[in-house]
Structure 1
Amino acid sequence: MKIELNRLNDGFHLEAVNEDGRTVHIDASPDIGGTNQGMRPMQLLLSALGGCSSIDVINILKKQKQPLKDVKVTITGEREKDVVPSVFVEAHLHFRIYGDVDEEKARKAIDLGVDKYCSVAKTMSPKATITHSFEIIR
């Protein structure tokens, strides 16, 4: 795995490019001189947590032959206060599962996806407590 990071202005606006040419913009907050042209690095980490676990949940529900129409996830995180570096100490994922999905199968898929298979969750979990919840929208 390789990421190339390129600076796009004289401030903090960066572009990360993967081996396939896919890009993500990163920037700092305006209060330290950023220009709000990308996500902050810690926002990207929460996004990665949601993306990683969602891929696993979708894959598990497909294997269970569940009629999944869509998945939306809200990820929240709390960081240490008044400490540098300020790592996440808590993260919560709330999954909204769309379709006529069996509740127990959804619960199992989310438990496995977040707690067992998500590499980002495993990376964060030595310092952060990661919890999850879900609802099914038929």
Structure 2
Amino acid sequence: MKFEMTENGFQTETSYGTLQISGNDEFGFRPYQLLISSIAVCSGGVMRKILERKRIPADNITIDVKEVYRNEEKANRVEKIHLHFIIEGIELDNEKMDKIMEVTDNNCSMLQSVKDSIEVVKSYEFVK
């Protein structure tokens, strides 16, 4: 990837179009939004694959970012994220779902990349 400076941030060309990145959300995605999106969507994608392999595919998975804690005293770094998974179309007991969450964590490359620096809290609920 190559990022070019713009008047209000940076941009890169992807196969899906131009990605605008800026510290000001009026001009593009903020870097912390991309970081959180990467962790959330990687986790959701891995969870989806695990459920499909176990032959219990979900009709839909929504990931709600309930909390983002940024430490203002340390360059506003992201220190904690709470991801809440809303899973439609299936219902599992807590023991099975906790195991699926653990396997998801172990196989999500984005989560593994930040595991020693960002606390990622996860919760879930089932919706019919």
TM-score range, shorter chain: 0.7 to 0.9
Match of 1:7 among 1, 5, 8: 5
CA–CA distance in 1 between the matches of 2:46 and 2:84?
15
Letter in 1 for 2:101: I
Instruction: Confirm or deny that 1:36 pairs with 2:26.
Output: yes
Q: Mark the runs of 5 or more structure 2 residues left unpaired by the alignment.
A: none
How does the TM-score come out when normalised to structure 2? 0.84
TM superposition score normalised by structure 1: 0.79
How far apart are 1:110 and its partner, in Å? 2.2
1:25 has 2:38 as partner? no
Please list, as runs of the form range in 1=range in 2, the aligned pairs for 1:47-126 lying within 5 A after superposition. 47-75=37-65, 76-84=67-75, 86-104=76-94, 105-114=96-105, 116-126=106-116
The 8 Å contact of residues 48 and 57 in structure 2, kept in 1 or not, is answered as no
Cα distance in 1 for partners of 2:97, 2:88 equals 11
The match for 2:118 is: 128
Q: CA deviation at 1:124?
A: 1.4
Return closer, same or farther for 1:67/1:127 CA change in 2, 3 Å cut-off.
Answer: closer
- Count of aligned residue pairs for this structure pair: 126
Q: Percent identity at matched positions? A: 21
Partner-residue secondary structure (3-state), 1:101? coil
- Structure 1 residues 117, 23: CA separation in 2 closer, same or farther (over 3 Å shift)? farther
Q: Which runs of 4+ in 1 moved over 4 A?
A: none
Q: How far apart are residue 11 of structure 1 and its match?
A: 2.2
- Between the aligned partners of 1:77 and 1:128, the Cα distance in structure 2 is 10
Distance 2:103 2:17 in 1: 28
Describe the shift of the 1:64–1:28 C-alpha distance in structure 2 as closer, same or farther (beyond 3 A): same
The alignment partner of 2:91 has SS state of coil
What residue is the counterpart of 1:16 in the other structure? 12
**Equivalent position SS for 1:68:** coil
**Structure 1: 5+ residue stretches without partners:** 30-34
User: 1:108 and 1:22, CA in 2 relative to 1: closer, same or farther beyond 3 A?
Assistant: farther
Deviations 1:16-36 (A, max 9, x none): 334x4554321222xxxxx61
